[in-house]
Amino acid sequence: MKTLSLGLFGVVCCAAAVSAQRGPSAFAPSNFIKTDAAVIALTHARVIDGTGAAARENQTVVIRDGAIASVGDADRVQPPAGATIVDLTGKTVLPGFVMLHEHLYYPTGPAIYGQLGESFTRLYLAGGVTTMRTGGNTNGVMDLNLKSQIESGLRAGPSIDVTAPYLNGPSNTLQMHTLEGPEDARRQVAYWSAMGATSFKAYMQITRAELGAAIEEAHKRRLKITGHLCSVTYAEAADLGIDNLEHGFMAATDFVADKKPDECPGQTTGQRTVDSLDESGAPFKNLVKKLVDKHIALTSTMTVFETFTPGRPMPPGLDVLLPELKQQFEQNYSRTAETKDSIYATLLKKGMALERAFARAGGTLVVGTDPTGGGGVIPGYSNQRAVELLVEGGFTPLEAIRIATLEGARYLGRDAHVGSIAAGKQADLIVVAGDPSRTIADVRKIETVFRKGVGYDPQKLVDSVKGRVGLW
């Protein structure tokens, strides 16, 4: 039996090696391309440039060698000779989404996350995401390898700002390392930055000393660090120099009366205090002022909280999941609908109001989706939904689009290249049927996603994984 097993192992290895030598044909971007030419002219389009400015009608966008060569009125900007012309009469071009709380994993079992990098990167791109930050990972190297292969043209997907594995204290999560103190936090930052990670994320059980050490090490390398906090308050993290805080104010424990230093009082305890906050009161305003003065960004992730809230619509995109995962979420959804006295019945709206107040006070609000929780947050589909929820929360459609594009690019330091539509920038663009500056739901009507000037077919990307998301 041992000889047979080794023999079979050798056959499998050889087969895998031959397959690798032939190239990953099933993963090849060419399978999903709709438009690819050295020069492309998108004519008679409505352009939403991502800056918050009003939409401009009857525009021509010329793409040359992956970059925006020119953009302007159709009667002034003429398609170059030999250009591939795409008539977009009645349609809108907007910047590719830049989303900052994404993951390449998904809840597939009790306290276990399946690593779904291959299917998720296709779905993100199909949904209009051309740049994303993985807001923490539970794998280690997969995110780094996918980033490299996407950039080298072996796979289709967004540009990825890779966040290292979580920096956390003791927890019940099997796929997280437990820090052994500040020096370990420094070692983790040093190791993962050397491996290629470009962002870091602190989690709920980290101590102030560990967080401070991690921030210092990240900043030495000119890298940024965010946090989904609990044991450390927002104000404490701000004083330590953190760059970003996740989940808007939903994870803040600043208002827990008997909060003990370096201890998480529990997510629900913190959320109850947030739910009772007066956005016009001094405690909230003082925290906002501190965050604004210290230039700390907040990431809105209302898509994941919506799945916890009774009475909300069924999330879009569930059909891409394995039948078992789809059924698992539908059961969760039914239980949520039957929950009486759910804190989220009021907390969702309060969270939206607090984020709006923060932005109106001059704070930097960015957006992401967080495909964790109990499932139902499906990459791509949820990114479109996140923009809709910003509008539900009180932002105008143009403001919501700016948050989902240029503000994210600015936070990542990539705004010179992506996040808005202007000559000289990378041609990361979304083509939608309709006018999302008037009807934000039109962001769901994506027809083409351009990344570096190559137009991808969203339907082909979705069809390639439909019914199998959960396998890979």
Q: What is the pLDDT of residues 163-222, one digit of tens each?
A: 999 999 999 888 999 999 999 999 999 999 999 999 999 999 999 999 999 999 999 999
pLDDT at 25: 63
Residue 17 pLDDT > 60: no
Which residue ranges does the chain devote to CATH 3.20.20.140?
103-412
pLDDT range class, residue 326, cuts 50, 70, 90: very high
pLDDT range class, residue 1, cuts 50, 70, 90: very low
Is 368 within 8 Å of 298 (Cβ atoms)? no
Report the distance separating Cα 53 and Cα 46, nearest Å. 12
**pLDDT, the chain, mean:** 94
Report the distance separating Cα 346 and Cα 328, nearest Å. 25
pLDDT at 111: 72
Which residue ranges does the chain devote to CATH 2.30.40.10?
32-95+420-463
Fold of 103-412: TIM Barrel (3.20.20)
User: Which tokens go with 335?
Assistant: 């239980």
Q: What is the pLDDT of residues 264-317, one digit of tens each?
A: 999 999 999 999 999 999 999 999 999 999 999 999 999 999 999 999 999 999
pLDDT at 448: 98
Phi, psi (degrees; rounded to nearest 5) at 28: -60, 130
Amino acid symbol at 369: T
DSSP state of 197: -
| CATH architecture for the domain at 32-95+420-463 | Roll (2.30)
